[in-house]
Amino acid sequence: MIHVYLDDFRKCPQGFVFARSAEECKLLIDVEAIDILSLDYDLGWGQPTGYEVVRHLIQTGNYPRRIYLHTSSAPGKQQMHHALSEHVPEDVQLFGGPMPQRLLDEVAEASRR
């Protein structure tokens, strides 16, 4: 399983596959099994947002094990969290904020092995 980090601006954490656009992220969702998915909302002027990825998850039913919302957009975070909380299966963990440092450290350490 892979870990995916969707963002157009922030640095990708070690051990994650970097998706810089909603389209890249949707492609990864379609072809890879994903453990952790961390979503940004704003992905550049005039570009589809992280909500497009959320809609894709809901439409395909192809969910990762854990979803984090690291966006700084409060309205975007609320929109994504609301939609996901209505649809995610019980075995999917949904977090309304960024990944804790402990988890980032664990993923980085595992990627070095």
The string of pLDDT tens digits covering residues 45-103 is 999 999 999 999 999 999 999 999 999 999 999 999 999 999 999 999 999 999 999 99
> Are 66 and 36 contacting, i.e. CB atoms less than 8 angstroms apart?
yes
2-112 folds as Rossmann fold (3.40.50)
pTM of the model: 0.97
- What is the rounded distance in angstroms from the CA atom of residue 110 to the CA atom of residue 113? 5
Residue 59: count other Cβ atoms within 10 Å of its Cβ: 10
Name the strand (E) or helix (H) holding 5: strand 2-6
Domain chopping of the chain, boundaries? 2-112
Q: What was the pLDDT predicted at 113?
A: 86
